[in-house]
């Protein structure tokens, strides 16, 4: 039996095997987009990759000029750190304002900036780049709001984990992330490690649900062991991501990922990570949800200003002249 959809003969939707129902749900969405055939082929493949593997790679998606503007912002904050209140997290510091940190520990301690996008216009434009927003718009069929960002200088060497346990949206399935390479990543620098297909594994119980929060009795090590055990049982093998500057790795909330071991501590691994949801599942800035958010729109995506440090917002304006 056939019917006619989008001007062509096709199978009857109500008579499909269940696996083809899923396939045609993607196919119908792609066919409905006002784009040419080549763009449809790319979108179709990316959506199937997302469904089956839990991630997509957007090669050469970010303009080097924008990356360079953000790198210059990072250098300014590191070089004049006493003038900035951006937060850092490392083996030594736990969400400390960089003006209160010792430069001797800026490297060699797995330091990362927390939400540097608040100070940096270029950081906002990286996080809310059109290429990322366009793809996630197809995934969520919604406007996109960024939740937080992390800017890494070195390899994190993090244990395997899934983001939904730590980055909490009202609906944990409506969460995604993007990892942007700020430089060519050397395989000895501790590149991103991920496990294709792991987004479909059973959830971990922290003792009080699927989130790691106050009252949780399980540990990060137990979480990693749970992931590794299920991956091994399912025959899922980790891979590493060694991208070029400007490449983007976008992943599902439940994709298992972490940092691989650093083989050469003289190497940096500069990268920018952003977590995303939808406005209806992330309504307020996590630093003070009691306050009505100040909303900024960048490339059609939403970002909430930091309610705890308004003077730091958009101080670094190198990215202002860039698209």
pLDDT digits (tens, 9 = 90+) for 221-236: 999 999 999 999 999 9
Taking residues 188-202, what's their average pLDDT? 97
Confidence of residue 7 (pLDDT cuts 50, 70, 90): low
- Output DSSP code: residue 45: H
pLDDT value, residue 301: 98
* Same domain flag for 243 and 136: yes
* Same domain flag for 159 and 46: no
pLDDT value, residue 15: 87
* Same domain flag for 88 and 237: yes
The alpha-carbon radius of gyration of the chain (Å, integer) is 20
Between helix 130-140 and helix 37-53 the angle, nearest 10°, is 70
Q: What is the pTM of this model?
A: 0.95
**Are residues 145 and 304 in contact, defined by beta-carbon separation less than 8 angstroms?**
yes
pLDDT value, residue 1: 44
* Same domain flag for 42 and 65: no
For residue 86, give the CATH number of its domain: 2.60.120.620
Residue 27: which domain range? 20-53
pLDDT value, residue 290: 97
Please state, rounded to an integer, the average pLDDT across all residues of the chain: 95
- Output DSSP code: residue 318: G
Q: What is the percent of the chain with per-residue pLDDT over 70, rounded to a whole number?
A: 97
* Same domain flag for 169 and 37: no
* Same domain flag for 71 and 206: yes
pLDDT value, residue 12: 83
Confidence of residue 2 (pLDDT cuts 50, 70, 90): very low
Geometric angle at alpha carbon 115, from 221 and 303, rounded to 5°: 120
For the record, the structure tokens of 102 come out as 């010792």
* Same domain flag for 286 and 196: yes
pLDDT digits (tens, 9 = 90+) for 233-261: 999 999 999 999 999 999 999 999 999 99
* Same domain flag for 208 and 61: yes
Which range is least confidently modeled, 2-6, 106-110, 273-277?
Answer: 2-6
pLDDT digits (tens, 9 = 90+) for 168-187: 888 888 999 999 999 999 99
Confidence of residue 91 (pLDDT cuts 50, 70, 90): very high
pLDDT digits (tens, 9 = 90+) for 116-159: 999 999 999 999 999 999 999 999 999 999 999 999 999 999 99
Cβ-based neighbours of 213, under 8 Å, separated by 6 or more: 168, 206
SS3 (DSSP) at 83:
helix
Domain end residue (candidates: 11, 30, 53): 53
**Are residues 194 and 255 in contact, defined by beta-carbon separation less than 8 angstroms?**
yes
Geometric angle at alpha carbon 144, from 114 and 51, rounded to 5°: 100
Kindly give the pairing relationship between strand 176-181 and strand 248-252: antiparallel
pLDDT digits (tens, 9 = 90+) for 262-295: 999 999 999 999 999 999 999 999 999 999 999 9
Please count the other Cβ atoms lying within 10 Å of the Cβ belonging to residue 218: 16
Residue 2 lies in a domain: no
Taking residues 194-207, what's their average pLDDT? 96
* Same domain flag for 77 and 45: no
Query: How many domains does the chain divide into?
Result: 2
């Amino acid at each position: 039996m056939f019917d006619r959809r989008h001007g062509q003969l096709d199978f009857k939707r109500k008579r499909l095997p269940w696996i083809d129902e899923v396939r045609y749900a993607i196919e119908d969405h792609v066919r409905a987009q006002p784009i040419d055939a080549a763009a449809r082929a790319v979108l179709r493949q990316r959506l199937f990759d997302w469904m089956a593997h839990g991630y997509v790679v957007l090669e050469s998606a970010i303009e080097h000029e924008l990356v360079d503007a953000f790198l210059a912002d990072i250098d300014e904050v590191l070089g004049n750190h006493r003038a900035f209140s951006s937060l850092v997290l490392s083996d030594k510091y736990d969400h400390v304002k960089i003006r209160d940190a010792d430069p001797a520990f800026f490297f060699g301690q797995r330091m990362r900036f927390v939400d540097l996008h608040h100070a940096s216009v270029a950081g906002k434009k990286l996080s809310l780049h059109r290429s990322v927003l366009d793809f996630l718009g197809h995934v969520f069929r919604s406007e996109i709001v960024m939740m937080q960002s992390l800017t890494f200088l070195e390899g994190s060497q993090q244990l395997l984990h899934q983001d939904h346990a730590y980055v909490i949206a009202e609906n944990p399935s409506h969460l995604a992330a993007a990892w942007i390479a700020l430089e060519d990543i050397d395989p000895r620098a501790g590149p991103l490690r991920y496990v294709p297909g792991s987004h479909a594994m059973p959830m971990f119980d922290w003792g009080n649900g699927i989130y790691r929060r106050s009252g949780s009795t399980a540990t990060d090590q137990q979480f990693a062991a749970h992931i590794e055990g299920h991956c091994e049982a399912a025959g899922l093998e980790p891979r590493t991501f060694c991208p070029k500057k400007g490449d983007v790795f976008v992943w599902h909330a439940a994709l298992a990922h972490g940092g691989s071991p650093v083989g050469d501590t003289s190497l940096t691994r500069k990268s920018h990570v952003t977590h995303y949801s939808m406005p209806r599942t992330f309504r307020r800035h996590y630093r003070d949800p009691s306050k009505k958010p100040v909303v900024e729109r960048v490339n059609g995506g939403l970002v909430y200003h930091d309610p705890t440090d308004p003077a730091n917002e958009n101080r670094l304006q190198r990215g202002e002249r860039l698209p």
